[in-house]
Structure 1
């Protein structure tokens, strides 16, 4: 099974099409890179795969042009070794994509956040199965008839079974007011969200609205009953981790996850620090137009706020898988990793999706922010890949690249299907 991230819809604007020259996708070998990897990568980029076996292979350059995706960064893990390449450009007319180019990971932030929460649970600072309202301090989940029957727990928040609303966050355009975390959790009433579409000067009472573009985060069905993807649930986790530790979320995640997993080019600061912006990719809409003002800002850090590289995400996924299989445990014990990666409703563990049966199980997650699409997958044997793009149609491209990698490395799952 390939996780199809190409169907996740984002708002687009109609405009002129900016076409990426094909030559931009024909990058040469990086200094000091492995020769075997370079040969394999050349076969991959010249043999992207459609979902059905037997379809003719496609080239990365052609597909980037067709889908208006200026840049792609790819990390492949084989035998526990991570190697990476960049293709295309970080911005049209700008620098080439390098393995160190930063992308918004979007919802791949969720499994990273989950590891931090599980590390605190492992240390006895959080209860996976207790009522989270007992640990939340300055904001509480509004009680209702659903929470009277069953409680919202950390476990249910992490595996999207807590009955929480708000599936996705659109972020906030650069230069626009950015709400506080509590404001996001409290949300905006419908009339305020409608007003946010118009010029404030047209409404004398617009100033009464907090600049929040999503609904309140609430429980809308009984916790523990069914799977329903919720970025709002992970925003509650963000609040919970801050309340329990008393630390800013970016610093806490750096201490608990980023440093131990050697994610040296990653951070949860939104917006980026000024000295990091030259390394950041510019996001593009499906029309080929750049997202106005540049990357959106996501105060919903736990759900969508990570800036990173495919190499760093690959180190993270590899570390989680190693803990899962008992090879080493820089953050999580094997017992905790087994809890994390036991699939529940919707095939979600506590953070990532978990598919397959031993010895070919794998974890995966996709991420979609405005103008950024990413895909991560890692098998339990330590083979996998991470693909990050700076175009709204990057999901379709990432799936094609992932099938090409699966074919080249003969993965037990993820190759084109024979019909």
Structure 2
């Protein structure tokens, strides 16, 4: 699947290392899944041909070597305790989507309309909104962001005296910003404001969380944030360091510049224009949408207590969506990149977005390959959700979303099968990642 496996592993290792990815084999009872196939088409295409190809994929999953025996999707879901998987495959710009397993054990099956938390796939979606504002001359890509931030500013220090934090550096993770990931807030926990998240909690206060002090006691002493302050801890522009805190600064920046709530702004600038009709940045998910949402599950097979975590860090981790919607988004981005669609981003803006900086990271997604086989990719991990997106410049790609903590390994195997079936460049098993989930970024 990947032309330069070594470069991919190198560029993704930093992202993989920011999150706790479960690699242990959990012993005990196995939940039996029937993995029903949803019959809905996301978009009309060659139905029979796609069904045949999909069945070959799900009945012949393989590990990272060609010699590995084929595995069935339902068996792998049982082994990894991943109750549900939603898959969108894009071939020639046509999106086909199917669901397997269950949105909630004992509940409804996964369909193409089942909602999942996209986690860090929120980042490239946010990046498009920011670049649309740059394109409209409402933001400066290379100016000091503190000149545009109004309700909160990055604390100045010796590092910001040397080089300024810019929107470009925030988007490509080279701004020197702290806080690699956000754990979210479980049911019943106080939800901090965006300002509280940016100001963060002291080391002492975070220690109270580890000591399992009550949420009320901790909030009274420290405020409700459960992560460190977002600050600059090394000179901006000198190295790639994955930072969800950087995208939280972008969230505040977009709100300050436009005066518009972030979910509304993203709906207007990105979700509606790209046809993402089942997507929202509202956190928590509105009650009328919760019946469509998947339940997240831990690696043990137990549901996340209280249901999905809430992420006020919307730009970094807050998107609820479907693989079909993410596929439409990725298609829109690569079409702008190749000059086929300038309805949201001009080709010039898209080229800036998808020019790799440090760590093979563009302004939003990872960018790999050389023409005519360039592609964008990103992935994400929220508590109980793992997702993976990749799209080639010719309009071939896939999006996989799961509701289990071990969904990364499964997504890797499915993506490998899609790559082989649809003859992606270097799509043979030997060329894919060999350990752990692929391209997984914990919000």
| Match of residue 291 from structure 1 | 304
Matched, 1:20 2:35: no
Residue number in structure 2 paired with 1:404: 417
Equivalent position to 1:51, from 64, 74, 84: 64
TM-score, L = length of structure 2? 0.90
Matched, 1:127 2:140: yes
What is the rounded CA distance, in whole Å, between the counterparts of 1:289 and 1:279 in structure 2?
Answer: 20
1:417 counterpart SS class: helix
State the Cα distance separating 1:50 from its structure 2 match.
1.2
Aligned pairs for 1:293-308 (under 5 A) are 293-308=306-321
> Are 2:288 and 1:275 aligned?
yes
Cα deviation digits, residues 372-402 of structure 1 (max 9, x gap): 0000000000000000000000000000000
1:310 alignment partner, one of 312, 323, 327: 323
**Is this contact kept in 1: 2:40–2:112, CA < 8 A?**
no
SS at match of 2:359: helix
Deviations 1:182-201 (A, max 9, x none): 00000000111111234546
- d(CA) in 2 for partners of 1:265, 1:359: 31
Q: Which of 404, 421, 429 is the matching residue for 1:416?
A: 429
| Compared CA separation, residues 46 and 13, structure 1 to 2 (3 A) | closer
Which residue in 2 is equivalent to 1:327? 340
Task: List per-residue Cα deviations over 1:127-170 (Å, max 9, x = no partner).
Answer: 00000000000110000000000000000000000000000000
Q: For the Cα contact (< 8 Å) 1:18–1:68, is it kept in 2?
A: no
Q: 2: distance between equivalents of 1:183 and 1:64?
A: 39
Give the 3 Å change call, closer, same or farther, for CA 166–301 of structure 1 in structure 2: same
User: Following the alignment from structure 2 to structure 1, what is the Cα–Cα distance between the partners of residues 24 and 409?
Assistant: 19
Following superposition, the deviation at residue 58 of structure 1 comes to 1.2
Matched with 1:218 is: 231
Mapping of residues 4-403 of structure 1, within 5 Å: 8-9=19-20, 19-23=30-34, 25-27=35-37, 29-30=39-40, 34-200=47-213, 207-403=220-416
When structure 1 is superposed on structure 2, of 345-354 and 188-197 the one drifting more is: 188-197
Shift of the 36–369 alpha-carbon distance from structure 1 to 2, 3 Å rule, reads: same
- When normalised by structure 1's length, the TM-score is 0.95
What secondary structure, in the 3-state scheme, does the structure 1 residue paired with 2:110 have? coil
The answer on whether the counterparts of 1:48 and 1:59 sit within 8 Å (CA) in structure 2 is: yes
**Contact 1:196/1:211 (<8 A) preserved:** no
Mind listing any 5+ residue stretches in structure 1 that lack a counterpart? none
Alignment gaps of 5+ in structure 2? 3-7, 435-443
CA contact (8 A) 2:26 2:299 kept: no
**Contact 2:22-2:405 within 8 A present in 1 as well:** no
Contact 2:205 2:218 in 1 (8 A): no
Q: Which range moves more in the overlay, 194-203 or 328-337?
A: 194-203
Following TM superposition, by how much is the alpha carbon of 1:220 offset from its aligned partner in structure 2, in angstroms? 0.4
Q: Does structure 2 retain, via aligned residues, the 8 Å contact 1:17–1:288?
A: no
**Contact 2:218 2:224 (8 Å CA) reproduced:** no
Distance 1:11 1:207, change over 3 A: farther
- Mapped partners of 1:199, 1:28: distance in 2: 42
CA offset at residue 20 of structure 1? 3.4
Provide closer, same or farther for how the CA distance between residues 133 and 319 of structure 1 changes in structure 2, counting only shifts above 3 A: same
**How far apart in 1 are the matches of 2:166 and 2:367?**
20
